[in-house]
Amino acid sequence: MSNRFCSMLLIFILAFKAAPPAAAQRGEDGLADIIQAIRGISISGQWFLMYQRGDLDGEQFNEFGLKRGYITIKKRFSSLFAGRITPDISVDREGDGRGDLELRLKYCYLQYTLPDLPLLTHPYIEFGLVHRPWLDFEEHINNYRVQGTMYLERIGIMNSADYGLTLIALLGGSMDHADAGLYPGRYGSLALGIYNGGGYHAIEENAKKSFEGRLTIRPLPEFFPGLQFSYSWALGHGNTAAAPEWDFNALFLSAEHRRFVLTAMAFEGNGASSGTLLDASGRPVHQAGRSAFAEFYFVSRTLSLFGRIDHIRRGGGQRRRFIAGLSYHFLGQCKMLIDIDHEYSPGGDDIERTVAEFAVEVHY
């Protein structure tokens, strides 16, 4: 301990002792109020930084940039009530503010913990700008949001947050195992909700609502806790004045282990939550597709190889995407990666895109 620090500490103690009792009491009360105000608060951050070079339908691009930036503040008010607010920083790529960094909210909700039920354990409700049932679950298995959005979001079906209400619960109690994931229910987990439908960055354009859900089953909790089977669905109206119907059904298999992560999805649906995936007559476009992801760890989980294959058949056309890369993991949840992302239409003349990328995820 330095002499300067000791001197400052001594001065502070003498000044506090010399203060009048009333002033000292006010100081103690003020300090107690501050401690009470910050008790139960946690702050975390997540940023996706990148350098990309590639070809978009014959045109070259070469840029450094910010993909996304999040700062999350959570507050536990009591054993029953908690709150969260998460600003989302992104680059404006449209309109007069093109190129500016814009700040909007990704999450802003009040959370209320419910009592346990015979099968549903640790249930809680989020109200406000909340998680939708599917993407938050998938993003904590395929941990590569830094590379890009998950399959259903990337093909334009939905995004991860919306204004509404979500009920989340574990099935059969909680597991204490590293492979149990974000929702460590012994037999799985459940999420149900009702939403505006347009997503967190859209104004509600009609009086309709979307109903969405996810059911996850963990069949071998003792022998293979990382193995899960999930079913996700949605039914509602797209976020336009015309309010076209939209729906989807998706089956998802995931396997998490200390040495690998594997996922596979099959999907079918009509339209999208935005209300914009329509044919020439204004009816929702039918679509079906599949996606698979794999990551393999080595060198004591410091390095990993990852890859992903997406396919979507929509209307009379189809698109495919191949992603492959190498990651270096450091400081807990932080990572650096290099990857190649190639998207094209088999046998078609649609836009073809190839991107080589270096990206960094800063997460604390």
Tens digit of each residue's pLDDT (9 = 90 or more) over 216-239: 999 999 999 999 999 999 999 999
Q: Which residue has the tokens 């909790």?
A: 221
Cα 34 to Cα 239: distance, rounded to the nearest angstrom: 44
Determine what percent of the chain is predicted with pLDDT higher than 70: 90
The yes-or-no verdict on residue 10 having pLDDT over 70 is no
Q: How confident is the model at residue 346 (pLDDT cuts 50, 70, 90)?
A: confident
The yes-or-no verdict on residue 286 having pLDDT over 60 is yes
Tens digit of each residue's pLDDT (9 = 90 or more) over 48-61: 999 999 998 778 99
Determine what percent of the chain is predicted with pLDDT higher than 90: 75
Q: Which residue has the higher pLDDT, 296 or 4?
A: 296
Domains of the chain as residue ranges with CATH:
40-363 (2.40.160.10)
Mean pLDDT value of segment 177-199: 92
Q: H or E element: which one contains 316?
A: none
Cα 177 to Cα 186: distance, rounded to the nearest angstrom: 10
Mean pLDDT value of segment 109-127: 95
User: What pLDDT is stored for residue 359 in this prediction?
Assistant: 98
Q: H or E element: which one contains 265?
A: strand 260-270
Mean pLDDT value of segment 333-361: 91
Q: Is 132 exposed, middle or buried (0-12, 13-18, 19+ CB in 10 A)?
A: buried
Identify residue 362 by its one-letter amino acid code.
V
Least confident residue range of 10-14, 122-126, 236-240, 269-273: 10-14
Integer angstrom CA distances of residue 54 from 257, 309, 344, 345: 34, 19, 14, 17
User: What pLDDT is stored for residue 56 in this prediction?
Assistant: 82
The yes-or-no verdict on residue 9 having pLDDT over 50 is no
Q: How confident is the model at residue 349 (pLDDT cuts 50, 70, 90)?
A: low
Q: Give 8's DSSP letter.
A: H
Q: Which residue has the higher pLDDT, 221 or 179?
A: 221
Tens digit of each residue's pLDDT (9 = 90 or more) over 124-157: 999 999 999 999 999 999 999 999 999 999 999 9
Q: Are 47 and 66 in contact (CB under 8 A)?
A: yes
The yes-or-no verdict on residue 6 having pLDDT over 60 is no
Cα 97 to Cα 202: distance, rounded to the nearest angstrom: 18
Q: Is 49 exposed, middle or buried (0-12, 13-18, 19+ CB in 10 A)?
A: middle
User: What pLDDT is stored for residue 29 in this prediction?
Assistant: 65
217: which residues sit within 8 A by CB, 6+ positions away? 171, 187, 188, 228, 229, 230
The yes-or-no verdict on residue 5 having pLDDT over 60 is no
Q: Are 126 and 166 in contact (CB under 8 A)?
A: yes
Least confident residue range of 89-93, 108-112, 252-256, 342-346: 89-93
Count of beta carbons in the 10 Å neighbourhood of residue 266 = 14
Q: How confident is the model at residue 95 (pLDDT cuts 50, 70, 90)?
A: confident
